[in-house]
Structure 1
């Protein structure tokens, strides 16, 4: 199972160790950060985050509940109160040895549960670079639908990257996650949520 907990300054060093090259940083954050990632830039990233009374963004670390190990990072932000919408960003399975073990699915389902069940959102979207086939597969398995592609949206070195837009609507989430479908689901809060992987 995956448990989401708020990302804090105590987690900075681990995230910096995980993001050890410029391309990975670009894939993870777009143009938000420059390489190398620093504690100062992460302090700025956390400003205004994780405040349930005025959500700007919820930034989480993902913990494997069996081992207690932090295995990833994910955030939910770009909230639109009017449209009851938000966006998943900065998804990362940190340890390369942990990839392919279902952690991505657990993280995505946990943050979707927070968005739809706790925050009452109607729509949650994300963008993923078209060459990241593992992430695309993870998001599709979690129920997100492809809505389109933004061609050559990011310039990196001598080339361009295209971005696939994906989203899930509240009724699609509820249909796929009725009690008969997810017997192991547990209570969620914006600060901590558990999902079986």
Structure 2
């Protein structure tokens, strides 16, 4: 399978994109790993300046491949949250490419000191990705989200600006 990571871009979500956003959230492959929002919550995230809601476009023709949401973009403590990342094609490097773009946006564009997220404990694939991209586990919110089978815990992970800079420098040296 060809890697999509070379052809990934984020564009601001428009209200006309919300049918697509809802369909990606409702996809059976994504539902176990997220807590879907109602349309009005997405409308609020598109409109409210503390959020950044983006459509992920990927591949040679930049087809819509998912969406991402950042929250805390105006946080006075410079703590930006990766609120949601939901993608359709799996296993093609798209998640990694998005996480790198979002970390760059959080630290370089939004001036974050801390970039953080929470991930369901059953989502081992996402946890491995976040760890490999420099996120550190901070703790667990035990049985904090209801699932079809009971409850799941959330794992809180973060990266600090100094860690991001060190990782970026190491990557540049490795590419040279």
Long gaps (5+) in structure 2: 1-5
Aligned partner of 2:68 in structure 1 is 74
Instruction: Please identify, of 12-21 and 121-130, the stretch whose mean Cα deviation from structure 2 is larger.
Output: 12-21
Matches for 1:128-147 after TM superposition, within 5 Å = 128-147=119-138
User: For the Cα contact (< 8 Å) 2:118–2:154, is it kept in 1?
Assistant: yes
Partner of 1:46: 46
How much does 1:132 deviate? 0.5
Q: Tell me which moved more, 173-182 or 147-156.
A: 173-182
Deviation (angstroms), 1:182? 7.6
Structure 1 SS opposite 2:172: coil
1:10 alignment partner, SS class? helix
Please provide the CA RMSD for this pair. Answer: 2.5
Report how many aligned residue pairs link the two structures: 169
Query: What's the TM-score once normalised by structure 2's chain length?
Result: 0.83
- Structure 1: 5+ residue runs without aligned partners? 49-54, 185-197
Tell whether the 8 Å contact from 1:105 to 1:141 is kept in structure 2 after alignment: no
Runs of 4+ residues deviating >6 angstroms = none
Counterparts of 1:171-182 in structure 2, within 5 Å, are 171-178=162-169, 180-181=172-173
Higher relative contact order (CA 8 A, sep 6+): 1
- Report how far residue 131 of structure 1 moved: 0.3
Matched, 1:88 2:82: yes
Q: What are the equivalent positions in structure 2 for 1:27-176 lying under 5 Å apart? A: 27-28=33-34, 30=35, 33=37, 37-38=38-39, 40-48=40-48, 55-79=49-73, 81-93=75-87, 95=88, 98-176=89-167
Residues 153 and 160, structure 1, Cα contact 8 Å, conserved in 2: yes
Q: CA deviation at 1:173?
A: 0.5
Alignment match, 2:10: 4
- CA deviations 1:28-49 (Å, max 9, x no partner) are 3x3x73xxx54x553344231x
